Every structure is written in structure tokens, then in C-alpha cells.
């Protein structure tokens, strides 16, 4: 009798669990502000049903001034017409000197001042949305309403991160390896190689954004690469349709963040080149601003404000002419004397370096990238250019 009761009780618990809604994604909430995901060293937290966010990064992303009064432990957020004050430990705030009660007040968590995001958004007439499926706090404009999306990209759970451009996923068919299309980030775990420059940072970036979360997978042409890894574009949230706009690619596709923030370079392997042209603009943006592996460490979520501009007079030049002119311009800025030992990377501005002696080209994170002498160097913007010029990629 007791055994039967135990069996019935276990069945009851199992059926009860089936009725409990489970979020499609786990992890701390992500923040989306006016067209882009942003991040800081302090994640949003949820208390009593209210989302608290790091005040400085949110307010400054929205263009507001932030001040701190140490004597009263008060944070002040303002623009030309509005002045909002939060005092730590009080469940009130002031809006243009009018005190208003709030369910949750400002707090200091892990040495960061956190405030209720809805209060800021509504005070400054900003749209605020909570996407529970993807656990995203949305402030401002530019986010795709997931309920209205007709996109059919396959949902999948990220189980682990291998490299910045390679992950393991579970889409209901067991754990599978997946390689991001059109991007190449430095490697960190290949036992045959040294850890490549900026590899740890790229892996950390992808881990922070993807591990344990639900993502959406877009196929190009090929199902897998020669190693059996799935080939996909990875989306943080679904775009409006299966034919995303350039704005949606910049806002929602993770591949674009890797390139724009300098954690990867464009890598072309036809026929999977659907987005190669817009990806080149993301790569150029990171290179021109010295982001990531191009020179200057950055935080995640850099916005693409303007595509790189080309010289109109350059249109009449052939590709060979353009390349020769670029290299000549670089050489003009190099030392005129005793430059036989000058290293090329100092003048490459993050571009690919070809070695005219070995006919090999070196990526910015490669082991020998900083070993090529300037007198032996030729510079390329893409791997495609290097290959067309007869160069082969260095193995390390």
C-alpha cells in the first residue's frame, strides 16, 4: 500500500512540474538600449518583480547626465528639462523635486549603483519592455516584438563555449558542435597551438553572451563544415522575418557583435557568404577604431554609428592600384633610415600582413603576426585579397 502511494505521489509531482512554465532561456537579464545590446561589469537584477540596472551605463546610453552626491548617497539623473534623484536605502525618488514613493528603491550591489529601470524610462518618456522569453530588458526603440515575429529560425540551447566562434548546442538531437558562419576568432584550446592573441578575450565574450541561453540559428547553404560542425548564423533574438534587414543584422545577430567589437575577423568559405558585404563593414569599423584584437580592449556592445567612407576618387582605380597606393601610403609614414629591422605590424593598423619571402599571410592574432619585417610585408584587408594575390594562410 505504501509503495503504491509513493508511486502515485511521484506521478503527481511529475505532472505538476509539467504545468510549471519554464523560461526558454536562463542567466541574468540582458539589456537592449535603442538598437543595440549593451553590457557592463554589473548585470541587471530582479527584486520583488522589479528590474534594477546599473544606473550609469543605462543613463549615459540614453544621453543623460549622471551625478553622485557622496554626502547623501544620492544619484542624480538629468537632462535639459528633467531631474530625477534616488537616495540609497529609500523607497522613494524625486522627480523635479517632487517626492514619489516606489516599490523598490536604489541600491548598491557589488559596488555599483542600481536603480529601477522602469522609473527612469517612464520619467524620461522612454519605452520599456520586458522580454521574458529571452530575458531582455528593453529601453527605447529598435527591438523586435518576439510575439509578432514570423521568423522560423531554429531555437537551440547553448551548452558550452569552445572558442569565440565555436560552441556546443542542444536542439533536441543531443549535443552538437556549431561553427559561426563568416567569422573567425582566435583559438585558445587547440593542443597543437599556442593560445592565439586575443583568444581568451573572444572566448570570454562569447561565454558571457551565450552560455546557458537560448539562441536562434540561421542556415546559409551548407549544413556542416568538413569537420562535421553545424554551420549557422547565431541570433540573440529573432528578427521580424526570415529575411532580416541590415538594421536587424546589426542589432540582433551575434556574429555582427563579434566583428564590430573586434573579437573576430571575416572568414569567407563559399558558398556560405550570404552576409559577407555587411560583415566587411563591421570588421572595418572595428579595425578603424582599434577595437579588440586591432589594438584597444573594449567592453561589449559597441554601436555602429557610421559605415566606413571611401574616397570617391578611388573608384577609378583597379583593385591592384588601390592596394599599391595603400601600401605606398603606409611606407610614407615609416622611418626612412635603418628600417630593415622595422616590424610591419606597427604600420598595419590591424590588417592582414603578407610575407613576400614565404608567400604566407598572417592574421592579427597569429603567432608570427608581429615578426614580419616591414621590408618583406604587403598588407591586405581580407583573406580573399591575400589568397587572390597568391598567398597562403600561416598555420599558426
Count Cβ neighbours within 10 Å for each residue of 149-187 and write b for 16 or more, e otherwise.
bebebeebbbeebbbbbbbbbeeeeeebbbbbbbbbbbb
Has residue 144 got a pLDDT over 60?
yes
Has residue 39 got a pLDDT over 80?
no
- Per-residue pLDDT averaged across 314-335, rounded? 49
For the ranges 6-10, 91-95, 263-267, 310-314, which has the lowest average pLDDT?
A: 310-314
Each residue's pLDDT tens digit, 171-183: 999 999 999 999 9
- Per-residue pLDDT averaged across 70-94, rounded? 92
- Which is more confidently placed, 314 or 27? 27
pLDDT interval class at 317 (50, 70, 90): very low
The whole-number pLDDT of residue 17 equals: 33
The whole-number pLDDT of residue 152 equals: 98
The whole-number pLDDT of residue 194 equals: 65
pLDDT interval class at 12 (50, 70, 90): very low
Q: What is the DSSP string of 198-230?
A: THHHHHHHHHHHHTTSEEEEE--S-SB-TTS-E
Residues facing residue 130 across a β-bridge: 137
pLDDT interval class at 218 (50, 70, 90): very high
Residue 148 has which C-alpha cell?
509578432
Place of cell 540561421: 218
The whole-number pLDDT of residue 191 equals: 60
Place of cell 568559405: 269
Q: Report the distance separating Cα 396 and Cα 393, nearest Å.
A: 9
Has residue 99 got a pLDDT over 90?
yes
- Which is more confidently placed, 253 or 42? 253
- Per-residue pLDDT averaged across 295-310, rounded? 45
In percent, how much of the chain has pLDDT > 90?
A: 45
Residues counted in the chain? 396
- Which is more confidently placed, 120 or 73? 73
- Per-residue pLDDT averaged across 295-309, rounded? 46
- Per-residue pLDDT averaged across 254-274, rounded? 95
Distance of alpha carbon 260 from the chain centroid? 7
The whole-number pLDDT of residue 58 equals: 72
* φ, ψ at 383 (rounded to 5°): -65, -35
**To the nearest whole number, what is the mean pLDDT of the chain?**
82
The whole-number pLDDT of residue 40 equals: 72
How far CA 23 is from CA of 4, 117, 132, 201, 339, in Å, comes to 33, 21, 7, 29, 60
- Per-residue pLDDT averaged across 260-277, rounded? 94
201 burial (CB, 10 Å; 0-12 / 13-18 / 19+) is: buried
Most confident of 70-84, 91-105, 211-225: 211-225
CB 262 within 8 A of CB 298: yes
Residues facing residue 74 across a β-bridge: 69, 87
For the annotated catalytic residues, the residue numbers are 179, 187, 229
The whole-number pLDDT of residue 342 equals: 83
Give the contacts of 211 (CB within 8 A, at least 6 positions apart): 27, 158, 160, 161, 167
- Which is more confidently placed, 82 or 196? 82
pLDDT interval class at 366 (50, 70, 90): confident
Model-level pTM? 0.71
Amino acid at each position: 500500500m505504501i509503495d503504491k502511494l509513493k508511486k502515485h505521489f511521484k506521478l503527481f509531482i511529475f505532472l505538476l512540474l509539467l504545468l510549471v512554465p519554464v523560461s526558454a532561456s536562463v542567466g541574468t537579464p540582458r539589456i537592449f538600449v535603442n538598437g543595440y545590446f549593451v553590457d557592463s561589469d554589473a548585470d541587471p537584477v530582479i527584486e520583488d518583480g522589479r528590474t534594477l540596472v546599473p544606473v550609469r551605463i543605462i543613463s549615459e546610453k540614453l544621453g543623460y547626465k549622471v551625478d553622485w552626491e557622496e554626502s547623501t548617497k544620492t544619484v542624480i539623473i538629468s537632462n535639459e528639462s528633467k531631474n530625477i534623484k534616488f537616495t540609497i536605502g529609500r523607497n522613494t525618488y524625486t522627480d523635479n523635486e517632487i517626492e514619489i514613493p516606489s516599490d523598490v528603491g536604489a541600491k548598491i550591489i557589488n559596488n555599483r549603483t542600481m536603480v529601477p529601470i522602469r522609473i527612469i524610462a517612464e520619467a524620461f518618456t522612454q519605452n520599456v519592455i520586458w522580454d521574458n522569453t529571452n530575458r531582455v530588458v528593453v529601453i527605447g526603440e529598435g527591438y523586435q516584438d518576439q510575439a509578432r515575429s514570423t521568423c522560423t529560425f531554429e531555437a537551440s540551447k547553448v551548452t558550452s563555449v569552445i572558442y569565440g566562434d565555436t560552441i556546443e548546442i542542444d536542439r533536441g538531437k543531443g549535443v552538437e558542435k556549431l561553427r559561426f558562419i563568416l567569422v573567425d576568432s582566435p583559438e585558445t584550446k587547440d593542443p597543437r597551438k599556442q593560445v592565439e592573441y586575443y583568444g581568451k578575450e573572444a572566448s570570454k565574450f562569447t561565454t558571457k553572451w551565450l552560455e546557458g541561453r537560448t539562441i536562434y540559428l540561421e542556415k546559409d547553404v551548407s549544413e556542416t563544415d568538413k569537420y562535421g560542425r553545424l554551420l549557422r548564423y547565431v541570433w540573440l533574438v529573432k528578427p521580424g522575418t526570415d529575411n532580416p534587414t541590415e538594421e536587424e543584422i546589426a542589432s540582433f545577430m551575434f556574429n555582427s557583435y563579434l566583428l564590430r567589437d573586434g573579437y573576430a575577423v571575416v572568414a569567407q568559405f563559399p558558398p556560405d557568404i550570404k552576409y559577407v558585404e555587411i560583415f566587411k563593414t563591421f570588421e572595418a569599423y572595428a579595425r578603424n577604431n582599434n577595437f579588440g584584437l586591432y589594438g584597444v580592449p573594449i567592453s561589449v556592445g559597441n554601436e555602429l554609428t557610421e559605415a566606413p567612407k571611401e574616397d570617391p576618387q578611388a573608384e577609378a582605380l583597379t583593385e591592384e592600384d588601390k592596394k599599391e597606393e595603400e601600401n605606398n601610403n603606409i611606407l610614407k609614414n615609416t622611418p626612412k633610415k635603418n628600417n630593415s629591422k622595422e616590424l610591419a605590424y606597427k604600420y598595419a593598423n590591424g590588417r592582414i600582413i603578407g610575407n613576400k619571402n614565404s608567400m604566407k599571410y598572417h592574421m592579427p592574432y597569429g603567432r608570427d603576426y608581429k615578426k614580419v619585417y616591414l621590408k618583406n610585408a604587403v598588407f591586405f584587408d581580407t583573406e580573399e585579397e591575400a589568397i587572390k594575390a597568391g598567398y597562403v594562410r600561416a598555420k599558426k
